[in-house]
Amino acid sequence: MAAPHIPKLNTLSNARGTGHGRGRAGSGGILITGAEEDKSAKDRVVQQTDQDASVSRLSAVEAGYLDDPFAKYFVSGEGQRRFPIINRGTYVRTKAIDNLVDEFLSKNPAQEKQIISLGAGSDTRFFRLMSRRPVSHGRGILQRPNVIYHEIDFQANTIPKLHPIKKLSELSGHIGSPVMFSHSTNPSEIYNDDSLHADQYHVHPVDLRNLDPSRPAPRSFDFVDTALPTLIISECCLCYLPAAAADTVALYFTQHLFPNSTPVGLILYEPIHPNDAFGKTMVSNLAARGIVLQTLKKYGSLEAQAARMKSYGLEGTGGASVKDLWDKGVEGKEKERVAGLEMVDEVEEWELLAGHYCVAWGWRGGPEDDVWEGWKSMAERIGGK
Confidence of residue 8 (pLDDT cuts 50, 70, 90): very low
pTM, 2 dp:
0.88
Cα–Cα dist 144/141, whole Å: 10
- Contact indicator for 262, 228 with CB cutoff of 8 Å: yes
Q: Say what the alpha-carbon torsion angle 38, 20, 242, 260 is, to the nearest 10 degrees.
A: 130
- Contact indicator for 271, 261 with CB cutoff of 8 Å: no
- The most confident of the ranges 8-12, 74-78, 306-310, 362-366 is 306-310
Q: State how far the alpha carbon of 133 is from the alpha carbons of 97, 112, 144, 299, 350, in Å.
A: 19, 18, 7, 38, 33
pLDDT tens column, 27-61:
333 344 444 456 677 677 666 666 778 899 999 99
Cα–Cα dist 23/121, whole Å: 8
pLDDT tens column, 227-278:
999 999 999 999 999 999 999 999 999 999 999 999 999 999 999 999 999 9
Cα–Cα dist 27/37, whole Å: 17
The helix or strand, by DSSP H or E, that contains position 271, with its residue range, turns out to be: strand 264-271
What is the share, in percent, of the chain residues with pLDDT greater than 90?
Answer: 66
User: Quick one: CA dihedral 329, 131, 87, 207, positive or negative?
Assistant: negative
Q: State how far the alpha carbon of 121 is from the alpha carbons of 224, 336, 347, in Å.
A: 19, 32, 31
Burial classification of residue 371, based on how many CB atoms lie within 10 Å of its CB (0-12 exposed, 13-18 middle, 19 or more buried): buried
Q: Is 334 annotated as a binding residue?
A: no
Domain boundaries, the chain: 50-382
Burial classification of residue 222, based on how many CB atoms lie within 10 Å of its CB (0-12 exposed, 13-18 middle, 19 or more buried): exposed
Please name the fold of domain 50-382.
Rossmann fold (3.40.50)
Q: Is 207 annotated as a binding residue?
A: yes
Confidence of residue 18 (pLDDT cuts 50, 70, 90): very low
Query: Is omega for the bond preceding 367 within 30 degrees of 0, making it cis?
Result: no
pLDDT tens column, 315-334:
999 999 999 999 999 999 99
Collapsing DSSP to helix, strand or coil, 28 comes out as coil
Q: Is 93 annotated as a binding residue?
A: yes
Cα–Cα dist 217/91, whole Å: 36
φ/ψ of residue 239, rounded to 5? -70, -15
Q: Is 362 annotated as a binding residue?
A: no
- Is 15 or 307 the better-scoring residue by pLDDT? 307
Judging by DSSP bridges, how do beta strands 140-142 and 135-137 pair with one another?
Answer: antiparallel
In 161-190, which positions are buried (b, 16+ CB within 10 angstroms) versus exposed (e)? bbebbeeeeebbebbeeeeeebbbeeeeee
What pLDDT, on the 0 to 100 scale, is given for residue 64? 98
pLDDT tens column, 111-170:
999 999 999 999 999 999 999 865 555 555 556 789 999 999 999 999 999 999 999 999
**What mean pLDDT, rounded, does the chain reach?**
85
Q: Is 67 annotated as a binding residue?
A: no
- Contact indicator for 298, 323 with CB cutoff of 8 Å: no
Cα–Cα dist 323/349, whole Å: 11
